[in-house]
Amino acid sequence: MELSKPLVTYNKYDDNKLKDIDVNKLEDENLRKVSDDFEAFFAQQLMDISLKSTNVAGEGAGSDIIKGMYTETLSQNTQGNLGISQLLYDFLSRNNK
């Protein structure tokens, strides 16, 4: 069964946050939050792609929802631990000075 729209939507990453941020006036705490959120979003996208052809949540109705919940939870738990967040934070901090 091929669906034209995904069953699970992701609210963790809001690209409006990046549009509203003035990097020159950005506080350290907000910069860290945006960097961590981006890393979680990126990790979730990687997991979605890598698990697309697996049956980690079984087969049948609801398996896509369960797989989405699984990847979202994993990405939230890896947030800040992959190093992407730190790289992005360092880059934006350096350009903020």
pLDDT (tens digit per residue) in 19-34: 666 555 657 888 888 8
Cα torsion 75, 77, 93, 84: sign: negative
**What percent of the chain is modeled with pLDDT above 70?**
68
Instruction: Determine, yes or no, domain membership for 71.
Output: yes
Domain that holds residue 41: 27-50+62-96
Residue range 53-77, pLDDT digits in tens: 777 667 777 777 877 888 888 888 8
Instruction: Determine, yes or no, domain membership for 18.
Output: no
Helices 28-50, 63-78: inter-axial angle, 10-degree rounding: 140
Report the alpha-carbon distance of residue 28 to residue 89 in Å, rounded: 9
Instruction: Determine, yes or no, domain membership for 3.
Output: no
How many distinct structural domains can be found in the chain?
1
